[in-house]
Structure 1
C-alpha cells in the first residue's frame, strides 16, 4: 500500500474489527477477493485489523482474460501481506449462468477455506438491492431480511459500509480495483436496480433510501430469528397435520420449511411454501404439490393422506 489510511479506509477497518469482536471469531480468516473495490477494501481492512488473512480468488472462466484478472488480484493480495490462492471453477450447473456461477464460487470457497471463516465484500448497497429484489418477487419476510452478517462459514463485515466508501478507501491506500464489466451490464436485474431504480427512489424520496432498506432488513432479521425460535422443531420423515394445524401461520410455515429442508427441499420460494401450507390450512383433497429438491434432478413431491404429510 502506497497511501495512508484516510477516513474511508479507517471506516472499513473498524467495520471488520467490530464484526470480528462481536462474533469472537478466530484471528485467521479468508477473504473472497474478486479484485473489485469492495473485496479489495475488505482485504486491506482485515490486514489492518491484524487478522491472519488469506485471499481466495475464484476464476469463473466466463470472460476472456479472467485468469489474468485472478492472478493480478492474487498478486495484489500477496503484495499487501496476505496469502493468496487462485481457485479455477467450472460454471456448468443448473439455474442459469448467474446461479451456476454462484454455486461454483461458494463450493470452491468452502473447499479452500481450511476451517477459517470466509469474509465477503457485500456492502450496505448490496443489502439494499437484495431487499428490493425480494420485495419485487414477493418472497416474504425471510427474503426481505436480506443477507446476514454471519451465516457460517460466511461473514459480511461491510453491510453497514457504503460502496462509495470502499472505493474511496482503495484510493486512499493507493489500490487500483478491477471493474468487472458485468457490474455495468443492464441485462442483469441487479445492475438496473443499482443504476436506475435506487437513484430514482433516492431522488423521489429525498435520499436515505439505501440506509432505510438496510435498516428494514436488520429489523426483519431480528423478527425472523425470534419467530424461528418459537416454531416447534419437526422430527421424523412424516409430519402430522394435527400437530401444526393450530399454529399461527407464521410459525406453521416455519415448521413446514424446516421439515421440507430435512427432506431435501432447496431454493424454496414463498409460492412453494404456500402450496404446501395449503395441504394443512386449505385441505379439500387436492393432490401432491412439487417443490425443488429430491434426488437425480427430480422435484420433491409433497402429499397429504390420513392426516399425515409425506415427501418423496
Structure 2
C-alpha cells in the first residue's frame, strides 16, 4: 500500500473519507468506486480512499467533447492504479444535446457510472466550494427550501465525502503527492453559469460580506436538509391519511370515507393541513403518479384545487405520453391523477 505524507491537507482529506465510510459504509469489507475525472478534487479523493477503504475501483468517464480527451482519461486511469486502486476503467460516453451541454454531459456521466459501479457506492469529489455554488444556483431557481438544500453526503449510490473540504485543500494534497491534475478548460469558460459563480460571484460575496460565505452557504444547506427530512416524514404521514380519506395528522377529525385503491386524495384531509406539509405531500403524490419536471407553478396550481376551489379545471403536469396528458383534478371532494 502506498504511504501518504501526514501533512495538514492530506490528513484533512483522509479524515473526511474515514468519517464518510464510518457513517455510510456497509458491513464487512469497505469497498467503493471513485468517479475520477483527473482533476484535483477527484485525485485527492482517490488517494485518500485507497488508504481508508479496503478496495477502491476507479471509474473514469470520457465525455469525448474535446480533442485528446481519451489521453486525459488514460492518464487518470494510470494515476489511479499508481495510487493503489484495484482497477481503473475508462467509460466512453456519447453526450446528447437536450437541455444544453452541461445537463446532457451530466446525464451521460451519471448513467455510465451507475451502469459500471457493480453494486458499489460511487464517491464523488464535490467539495464545500461546489456545495456553495449549488446552493446559489438553487436560490436563483426560487423553488423553496428544497432547492437550496444542496448536495447530500449520501444519496444512494452517490457519496460525497468532501463536502466540508475546501477546493484549495485538494489542490494542496495533489501538490504534496506530486500529482498533476488535469485542468478542464470548461471549468474556466464564462459561458457556463457555474463557472461565473465560481470566478466572479462568490469572490465578490466574500469580499463584500467579509469572508466565510462559502462555509455559511454549506452550513445553511446542511440545516435545511435536516429540517427537510423531518417535514418529508410528516408529509408522508399526511399523504397516507389523505389516501385513506380519514383524519390528517393531529387533526382529530372524522373520516370522510375511505378509498380502497389509494389513488385519490381527500381534499378535506389536505385542506386542514399546514401548507408546508400539504405541498410536500402533493409533490410526493404527483411524482409517484408519474409527473415529470414538476415546477413550483405546477405545485401551486394543484394546491389551489384544494385551497382555492372555484370550479376550475384540472392541472396538466409533465409526465404524459404522445397523445395524452397527465392531469390532476378535483372530483367529488377528492384529487385525482389521470392520463387524458
State the TM-score bracket (shorter-chain normalisation): over 0.9
Partner of 2:143: 139
CA contact (8 A) 2:32 2:53 kept: no
CA distances 1:228-247 after superposition (whole Å, capped 9, x unpaired): 11112445332232231111
In 2, Cα distance between equivalents of 1:110 and 1:297: 32
Partner of 1:245: 271
Partner of 2:14: 13
CA contact (8 A) 2:17 2:49 kept: yes
CA contact (8 A) 1:9 1:169 kept: yes
| Aligned counterparts, 1:1-312, within 5 A | 4-25=5-26, 27-82=30-85, 83-92=87-96, 94-231=98-235, 232=237, 233-234=239-240, 236-295=262-321, 300-311=326-337, 312=339
3-state secondary structure, aligned to 1:303: strand
In 1, Cα distance between equivalents of 2:294 and 2:194: 21
In 1, Cα distance between equivalents of 2:79 and 2:324: 44
In 2, Cα distance between equivalents of 1:14 and 1:230: 34
CA positional deviation for 1:2: 9.3
Distance 1:276 1:50, change over 3 A: same
3-state secondary structure, aligned to 1:94: coil
After superposition, the CA RMSD in angstroms is 1.9
Distance 1:187 1:297, change over 3 A: farther
TM-score by length of 1: 0.94
Distance 1:281 1:34, change over 3 A: same
In 1, Cα distance between equivalents of 2:325 and 2:159: 31
CA distances 1:254-280 after superposition (whole Å, capped 9, x unpaired): 111111111112332323322222222
Segments of 5+ residues of structure 2 without an aligned counterpart are 244-261
- Structure number with greater CO (CA < 8 Å, separation at least 6) is 1
Moved more, 52-61 or 201-210: 52-61
In 2, Cα distance between equivalents of 1:125 and 1:69: 24
In 1, Cα distance between equivalents of 2:327 and 2:97: 22
CA distances 1:252-311 after superposition (whole Å, capped 9, x unpaired): 011111111111123323233222222222222222323332345976332222223223
In 1, Cα distance between equivalents of 2:327 and 2:165: 43
CA contact (8 A) 2:21 2:53 kept: no
In 2, Cα distance between equivalents of 1:143 and 1:118: 23
CA contact (8 A) 2:266 2:334 kept: yes
TM-score by length of 2: 0.87
CA distances 1:51-93 after superposition (whole Å, capped 9, x unpaired): 3100111111222222221121111111111111111112226
CA contact (8 A) 1:5 1:169 kept: no
Moved over 6 A (4+): none
